Structure formats: C-alpha cells, structure tokens
Structure 1
Amino acid sequence: MTLVQLQYVLAVAEHKNFTVAADKSFVTQPTLSMQIQKLEKELNIEIFDRTSHPIKITQIGEKIVSQAKIILMEANRMKHLVNEEKGLLEGDFVIGVIPTILPSLVPLFYKTFQKNNPKSNLIIKELQTDKIIKGIKDGSLDFGIVVSPLYEDQIVEKPLYYEPLVAYVPPIHRLHDQEKILETDLDSADLLILQEGHCFRNNVLALCDSSKMKLRPIKLESGSFEALIKLSNDGYGMTLLPSLVAEDLPENLKKNVKSFESPVPTREVSLVFHQSQLRDSFEKELINTIQSILRGKIFLEKDAKLDSNLISLPKK
C-alpha cells in the first residue's frame, strides 16, 4: 500500500470517473486504474463499483476512503511539522474563501504574498462557508477566510479585519440625496439582497432585525453584487455592500455609495483553521500580509473605541 495509491482512490471518489481522476492527478488513466487495482487486490476488496455510471463507492470502499483521508492528512502533517521546525514557508497552502470576500480581498494580497514567499504556492478556492468548515475538518483545506463568528468545534478563528457596510443608493431612489443612511431608513420593500447561501445575506437580514424593521418579502434577490448594483441602477431599489467591494466600483458609481450614521454596521472577517494545524508560520505571515495591505483603509481591531462606533453583525 502506498500514499500515491490512496491519493488516486480519493481522486476517483471525488470525481466518480477514472478518466477525470487521472487527468486531475496528472497521470494516465491506465496508470491510475492499475494502482487502484493493486490496492484492491492487496486488501482483497472492491473499493469502487465500476458497473455503475457514475462510478459508485462500495460499502467497504466508503470506509477505505475515510481512512485514506486520515492517513494522507497525517502524512502531510509530518511534512508541515518538518517545515515548521526549519522555519520554511514552502509547498501548497489551500485556502477556501467565501464568494463575497474573494474578489475584493484576494487580489490585494495574493501577488505580494507570493513575491515575499516564492517557495509557497497559494491555492485559492471559492467556497461557501459550510464547505470551508467541512474542508478544514476533513483536511482538504488548510485555511479559510470567512465571516465570523462560526462557533464551530475544532475550528480556530483569528480576526483579520472589521469591514463596514455601506449602502448603494441610485439617483432615482428616495434616499439618494441623504448624506448618510440610518438603519431606520431601510425598507425591505425596496432592499435588494443576495440569494440564499451567502453569509452577507444573513448580515443584511440581521441588520434589518436590529433596526426593528418589519421584514416584508424581499422584492429581488441575486447571486452577485454586480447584479444587485445593476438592478439598483435599473430602478428596482437599493442594496448594501461591504466597503471593500464599494472601493472597487468605477468612479461614476461611487457617487451612489452612502455611509451609515454611527454606530456603523460591520462584519468580522477571520482566518480560520483546524485547532490541530501545524502551519503557524504561514498563519502569521498571511495575517501580517493582509493586515499590512489593509492598514489605513479598514478597521483591523475591534477595541473599546471602535465598539462605540460599530455594530457587529452576527451571521444569523
């Protein structure tokens, strides 16, 4: 039994197809199939039911796949332990980032981190929060960047920054002429929000809750901030945005961005990882890189002074 054979098993288990698994593993399909067959012969069992399409994992195969994940995770931990002892920042670092953070944050730090740590390889995956939690727990992800708090067993949260929410109010909207927006100004009848599955949607709904707004049916929902902005410009209402998203807007649209009156609603963005992870040097380097880039443009800490000016929004 070899680690390579176990890696091939996990590839087939993920993709349910030998050809795709071989392609993702950068080997030929006959090579991958032969190695899995060798493992099955050694164990005297069948891991996969090859007669079904897509391929199914057998009952004993499910147990083999689960154990293979543990073995490979522990093998990687040994490499991480050695690198940590040597003070090396090298190898792959797989990071899951939620969709409402990735486009505005990752471009800010990615090139800088890679330039400063040329032997490291950041692998960024856009995933919803629940998949990031699952990935960290099963070892397929090293770290995650999410809106916190999560309150998850085995997951450590290190706040990166506190991001204010802003309102996007087009010229035809009733609130456009106001310099700043109050929570009580919000009306769910003309508030456009993201679809189910996005934690920013929950942030907005929590804000509606805190303002004692009677939540009527939301008129329109969409899967991206770009679509919400377009719908707003087309006269369907207003929307809320994270401040880093608003910063990236073209100049002609920034005039439609309104800040909230104090206390300002905000979301906490954190780096998360498994409590048993051994990559402390990477954790510290990534946090330092992100915070050094954001310093001066966003809140990095939530101290007593900020508490008086911010409302921390739960995920709900």
Structure 2
Amino acid sequence: MEFRTLHAEELDKWFDHCMIVFNKGQHSNSFRQRFINAFYNDPWKDINNIFVSVDGDKIASTVRLLKRQVYILGKRVSMRGIASVSTKVEYRGRGLSSQLLKMAIERMQENGIQISMLFSSLYKHYGKLGWKKNALYYKVIDRGSLKDALYNVRPIDPVKDMNLIYDIYIQFSSKFNGTVVRADNQLYWSTRLKKDNWWVAENKSNNIVGYMRTSSTEGKIQVLEFGSAECINTSSNSVFDGMINKICSMSGITGYDVVFPAAIATKREIKRIEHRDSIMIKLVTPFEIEGKSIDSTEKLIDTMNCGKNPGVDSRFLFWDTDKF
C-alpha cells in the first residue's frame, strides 16, 4: 500500500472513488458530478492537498484538505477543512484513513496552519487525532405574521446584488467566530449565489439592508445563511424577523417552525433550542489573538464560543453554505 498525494492524471479516478464510496457502491453520473463541481468550483483547490492510499492502480482511501480562513474575534485565522474522507469497503479496518489524516496534520503543521475543522459524527475516530466536538445549536420560532413585514423582499440577482451582499457579509459575519473568510473571490460567491432560495431585503429607499438563504424541509423553514446591515450587538434584529415573515408569505408556507443558528438575534419568542449536529475543531499551531494565548484545542473552542453557553448566546457560527 502506497501513501502519497494524488497525481494530476488520477483526478478522474479520484472522482470515481468518491462516487462509489459515498454512494454506497452505486454508479451515478449525477452523484459523481457533485464531487467534480465541488473541486472545480473551489477557488483555493490544490491537488497536492488530496492524500490517497493506493493499492496497485486502485485508490483505496482518501482525505482532502480544503484551504480556508475563518474569522475569530474579528481577525483572520488560517484553517484547513477535512473533507472527502472515504475508504472502499474492502479496505476498511486497516487504519488507512487514520494514516492519511496523520499526513494531513503533518502538512498543516509544516505550513503553520492554525486550526482545522471537519463535519462528522465519528467523534471517537477523529478524537483520537485531536479533533474535539463543538455542538451546534439552533433557535426555533414561529413564522410570525405579515403585519411585522417592514421590508420589501425579493429573490436575489446574483450579478446585480453580489457586491452589496459581499459587503454585508463582511460587516455581519466577521463579528462571529468560525465564519469563513470568503474575501471578494468571484468564483466562490457566484457558484453559491446560483443556488435556490436566496433573498434580499430592501428598505423604503430601495437600499439592500439584508439577505438570506432558506430551505423548506420536514415542516420547517431552515435559515442556511443570513446577513444584515444592522448592528448585531443588539438583542433583536428587525431585518431578520421581517425577512422571515415575508419569505414565508411569498412561499405560501403556513404553520411551519423557523429554525436558525442560535447565535442570530431575534425579538421573537423562542419556542425551544435544538442541538442538531456538531462540528469538530482542532488546534494545529498555537497562536495569540487579541492578547490571548491559544495553546490548546479546549482554549480555542472556548474562545470561539466567547466563554458563553453555546446553546443560547455563543458567538460561534458556521453557515451551511460553507459546509464541506
């Protein structure tokens, strides 16, 4: 078994591997296309960040590092996401993915990367290599009534609105900890804004004051992303509440709960707090930020939550739009 990075001529074989493993052994061109799109639509892609174990001419297992930065206390911190971790059924139980993860950690350490994040329910597996769980919580409210709809809400225009949305994203999301630094990369923004259910809110002067992306599943409206030009250091956010009202009305949705990250403020009565899933975080290279030494993963997570109750008023936030 050979452990190394992927060769350029093996990229199609890698797409095949991801399709087979994640689609439970079934061939599917549409499923394969997801991995093709994810790779080519990533402006920071690097084939040298794809680690593989190879048995002859067959890819047995793989791990991919995603190059990102995230905001912590308003500062940019280098981060590498762990993605596409997969091993063919016949090679499982041999520790192949663990070996590849160790290679990925060494690469991050060599490059002075500060933190790493991943999404998985295999907490024990990744915990052995230093990643720790940070629970993600969501508020649940009623959809509200039209009488509170103070803004004109319309579908987003990906070309016309992009620069304004980008400005609001920086103003709003940089105040939280864990949000991805998207910069002004047109490829990253444009591929995401082409997806469905993006909305903007305009005030009476026709100025964009907020934006939102939603999905409707299982009797719930899920807020996948939100940004507001309002100050976030208040206990309420009229743009958020107003957009939810109008979007529900425009979609013809009634009786649904609205679910959104607990870090987002609302003046609505909160029905309950839900623990939906978790993100795993690892300190790779110790660093200082705002005079605070971050020398352990525990300190990192505590700093990202601002030492507060993550189920109520944590400052940690990671948008669904950026999940990998």
Give the number of the structure whose residues are more often helix, by fraction. 1
Q: If the length of structure 2 is used for normalisation, what is the TM-score?
A: 0.33
Under a length normalisation based on structure 1, what TM-score does the superposition of the two structures give? 0.34
